[in-house]
Amino acid sequence: MAACNGSPFPFGGRETYDILINPRRLREGGGPAFLAAQRSGEEKSGIPAFAGMTRLETGRSGGYPRLALPPPTSRTCPTMNLRHIEVFHAVYTTGSVSAAARLLHVSQPAVTSLLRHAESVLGFPLFERSRGRLVPTADAHDLYEQADAIQDKVRQMRETARNMRHGRGTTLRLSTLPSLGMELLPEALAGYLANHPGVSIELHTIHHDDMAAKLRERETDVVICYSPPRDALLASTPIGAGEMVAYFREADFPDAPERLPLSALAGQPYISTSESGPQGRAVAEELARQAIEPDPVGASRTFFVAAAMARAGLGSTVVDLHTALAMRAPGMALRPLDPPQPYQIHAAYLEARPPSRLALDFLDHLRDRLKDHK
């Protein structure tokens, strides 16, 4: 009888052995039935008591135990488990057993043992020793990309579990766009915490394209944004409104009316925000529709960076109202546009994980704050 790697069972002699098998696996073929073997009459130390295991006292035949097991196939052979993959990944990335052991917070012998077992299971070596280092084989290079993807998924799962464990209760975990995180959210949170002692805050800024991933991975509970991401797992609720405004030096438009026509930007030095998200694209589309051609001197995907460039004298720009309010400075002006370019502000969250009572209470407070933020 041969083991899964093609070699006979590593015990011989004309002696009687006790074999531990798993009858369910033997019947269903769902994994290795053979678990352990030792000489009859020896102490059973080292062999754990498995639920559902059967101990068979076998006879002798040519020096090997007689046991009616199915011939080894890929279904009955052991395969790499997550611990094997973790050790392989650590050794591959660090280049040595000692460094991998430090990374995994285990002993060097443990890493060596698991690595050897992984190679035994696979049936081919993963590393060769050269000048005191472990050099990956061609097979290891082929496996690494998949192992790295698996490790990344495991990391994400651990992070999600950690966030689920710590993210509820008296902690508000919010994310928002940089433009809303400059002034609006900090001021709203300060006002809310003044009347809610004991509540703690986590506030992070993210870009529009990252919102769905942050919610799915439980890195945040609620995202305050303009246009909620399109994702089947997410839901959203409107909490307020605003509109895009022109932000410029007063000297550039000394007689600016209450609403600045988009046509006033024609031929003027202009900092584009067309790549910032839905609001920036809407402004760019309206400029194109009216065949208005400003003089492009710069661009930014972030409203507050575009506003900072305008304040530095590079030209005018169009940003959201909340960024313009946060960037107010002597000599600078803001005007709503003609035609108006409105937008909604939403709270987005996982549909299967709606906001807590604490979060809902804060969102009510934020709605009131938005009415006054003009």
pLDDT tens profile 255-277: 999 999 999 999 999 999 998 88
The answer to whether residue 86 scores a pLDDT higher than 80 is: yes
**DSSP tag of 131:** T
Residue with the two structure tokens 């039935």: 33
Q: How confident is the model at residue 34 (pLDDT cuts 50, 70, 90)?
A: very low
β-sheet bridge partners, residue 238: 346
Token pair, residue 152, equals 């990344």
Rg (CA), the chain: 33
Q: How confident is the model at residue 67 (pLDDT cuts 50, 70, 90)?
A: very low
By the 8 A CB rule, do 90 and 126 touch? Answer: no
Q: What integer pLDDT is reported at residue 132 of this predicted model? A: 73
Q: How confident is the model at residue 56 (pLDDT cuts 50, 70, 90)?
A: very low
Digit-coded pLDDT (tens) for 336-353 = 999 999 999 999 999 998
3-state SS record for 139-200 = HHHHHHHHHHHHHHHHHHHHHHHHHHHHCCCCEEEEEECHHHHCCHHHHHHHHHHHCCCCCE
> Average pLDDT, stretch 148-161?
84
Token pair, residue 214, equals 């942050």
- Around Cβ 171, how many Cβ atoms within 10 Å? 16
CATH topology classification for 82-165:
Arc Repressor Mutant, subunit A (1.10.10)
Q: What integer pLDDT is reported at residue 72 of this predicted model? A: 44
Q: What integer pLDDT is reported at residue 208 of this predicted model? A: 82
The answer to whether residue 25 scores a pLDDT higher than 70 is: no
Q: What integer pLDDT is reported at residue 164 of this predicted model? A: 58
The answer to whether residue 292 scores a pLDDT higher than 50 is: yes
> When comparing pLDDT for 24 and 174, which is higher?
174
> When comparing pLDDT for 13 and 307, which is higher?
307
Q: What share of the chain is helix, strand, coil (3-state, %, to 5)?
A: 40, 25, 35
> When comparing pLDDT for 321 and 57, which is higher?
321
> When comparing pLDDT for 227 and 45, which is higher?
227
Angstrom distances, CA of residue 245 to CA of 183, 294, 334, 341, 343 = 16, 16, 6, 8, 11
Query: Letter for the amino acid at 235?
Result: A
Q: What integer pLDDT is reported at residue 166 of this predicted model? A: 53
> Average pLDDT, stretch 346-372?
91
State the average pLDDT for the chain: 80
Boundaries of every domain in the chain: 1-78, 82-165, 168-374
> Average pLDDT, stretch 157-165?
70
CA atoms in the 13 A half-sphere facing the CB of 308: 8
CATH assignment, 168-374:
3.40.190.290
**DSSP tag of 349:** E
